[in-house]
């Protein structure tokens, strides 16, 4: 019994193996693959939000709504917002900032991922 207890103590002191760090090339390849998948995602209008939302968020919703039932890709949305969205930030960054509000919190927009279609 004493041997089993000592063995258990040794097992408890084992440290988990450190994760293997990815090379810069692998991280770049992973990012490129993710970006390519995200570029195929489509923003689709679902409903007008209840209550007030930020003016920039409303401009984004109106642009998505104007795209129709087919929706709009992120790239198309960003191009469509040029000149309509008042901001000093890059438009893509503003879209990313409001994405959670539009999709999860208000349910005004749905994102159809490329994987869901296949």
**DSSP string computed for 16-84:** PPPPPPPPHHHHHHHHHHHHHHHHT-EEEE--PPSS---HHHHHHHHHHHHT-TT-EEHHHHHHHHTTT
Residues 49-97: tens digit of each pLDDT: 999 999 999 999 999 999 999 999 999 999 999 999 989 999 999 999 9
Complete domains list, the chain, with CATH: 31-117 (1.10.10)
118 band by pLDDT with thresholds 50, 70 and 90 = very low
Chain mean pLDDT for the chain: 83
């Amino acid at each position: 019994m004493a041997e089993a207890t000592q063995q258990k103590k040794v097992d408890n002191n084992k440290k988990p193996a450190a994760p293997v760090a990815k090379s810069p090339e692998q991280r770049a390849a992973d990012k490129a693959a993710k970006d390519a998948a995200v570029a195929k995602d489509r923003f689709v209008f679902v409903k007008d939000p209840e209550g007030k939302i930020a003016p920039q968020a409303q401009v984004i919703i109106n642009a998505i709504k104007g795209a129709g039932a087919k929706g709009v890709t992120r790239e198309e949305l960003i191009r469509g917002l040029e000149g309509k969205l008042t901001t000093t930030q890059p438009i893509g960054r503003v879209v990313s900032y409001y994405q959670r509000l539009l999709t999860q919190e208000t349910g005004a927009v749905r994102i159809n991922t490329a994987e869901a279609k296949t």
